[in-house]
Amino acid sequence: MASMRLGFVCLGYSCNAARSASQAIGAGLVEAYWKVFPDGESYLRIDGDLGDGVAVAVFTGFPEPSRRVVEGLLLVEALRGLGARGVIAAPLYLAYSRQDKRFLRGEPISVRAVLRGLGAAGADALLTVDIHKEYSLEWFPGPCLNVSPAPAFAEALRGIVEESKRTYVLAPDRGAFPRAKRLGELLGAPFDYLEKTRDRVTGEVTVRPKTLDARGATVIIVDDIVSTGGTLAKAARLLLEQGAEKVYAAITHCLLVGNAVEKLEESGIEKLFCANTVEPRWSKARVVDIGPLVAEAARKLAERLYSYEQEAPRT
């Protein structure tokens, strides 16, 4: 099968990963021009030539998640206007992904609204990076791929694992356990998650790894998002109190809002590894490039779109 020509267009910080993705597969890249009108509306323009192949609209959901979502819609719409043969929407950090249920009556399933919106704006396919829950992808009306950053984190963390006597990969809760499993398997390290238990007699709550003993171990905490830093700081503190030698974290989307950095500084965490899906504003954060993984996923999605075209019913 002939391979489909790909071109990337990006906005703001997402251009960091988009540049690396485009270089990884020798595809074109256009950085979209954007501004905010005096009344607060967003404006953008794609001033460049992406050809008539499949265009990958790369954007990200932080800071100002609501504005970033609207810009993503506008980017997809603009690409349609330029005559792209297919459009892949690629929100590196998908804002609103945590509201994936009606937790209370009367609430929206926000991620469903965002994904349907991208489809309605003209996106044929969707590429996400470590989406909060993969089942949300079902709400996008087309082919989807969710990129795991684990291979890039494994490469960045390998030195730490080699220097440590014992390394464990831990998820801060059961929900994030598949992430710990994936990274642990790539690093050849045991993996587990932190479990909260309550003593039925005293009522005392303890949080500790479900099966592993953290004493003397180097622990890598893995999660999709660090927002206020509460979850991560608490996990790091607990593990150090339980005798862990060093605690590192590998978090895909480092939002670090409010006083998150202060909380992490105080928690005793050694270093934070963050994917380049959003800009981590902390000097201790080490940025891990997921561009080549995005490129590979975009290539696969483009091939899939192309094969759909080939399979179109004859008239």
Q: Contact positions toward ligand R5P, by CB under 6 A?
A: 172, 175-176, 223-232
Least distance from ligand R5P to the Cβ atom of residue 205, Å: 17
Distance of closest approach, residue 158 Cβ to ligand R5P, in angstroms? 24
Q: Which is nearer to ligand R5P, 52 or 64 (CB)?
A: 64
Angle between helices 150-163 and 291-310 in degrees, nearest 10: 150
Q: What six digits make up the tokens of 78?
A: 């603009």
CA distance 88 to 125: 5
Task: Name the minimum Å distance from CB 184 to ligand R5P.
Answer: 17
Cβ distance to ligand R5P smaller for residue 142 or 229: 229
- Whose Cβ is closer to ligand R5P: residue 178's or residue 292's? 178
Task: Name the residue among 310, 276, 227, 305 with its Cα closest to residue 56.
Answer: 305
- In the bound complex, what is the minimum distance in angstroms from residue 219's beta carbon to ligand R5P? 16
Nearest Cα neighbor of 291 from 13, 18, 56, 7 is 18
Q: Which is nearer to ligand R5P, 61 or 229 (CB)?
A: 229
- Shortest Å distance, C-beta 71 to ligand R5P: 22
Question: By C-beta, is 224 or 289 nearer to ligand R5P?
Answer: 224
Cα–Cα separations (whole angstroms), residue 241 to 238, 273, 306: 5, 22, 54
Which residue out of 35, 165, 181, 196 is catalytically annotated? Answer: 196
Where do the H-state alpha helices sit in the chain? 15-24, 65-81, 110-121, 150-163, 177-187, 230-241, 260-267, 291-310
HEC secondary structure over 44-86: EECCCCCCCCEEEEEECCCCCHHHHHHHHHHHHHHHHHCCCCE
Does residue 101 have an active-site annotation?
no
- Residues marked active site are found at 196
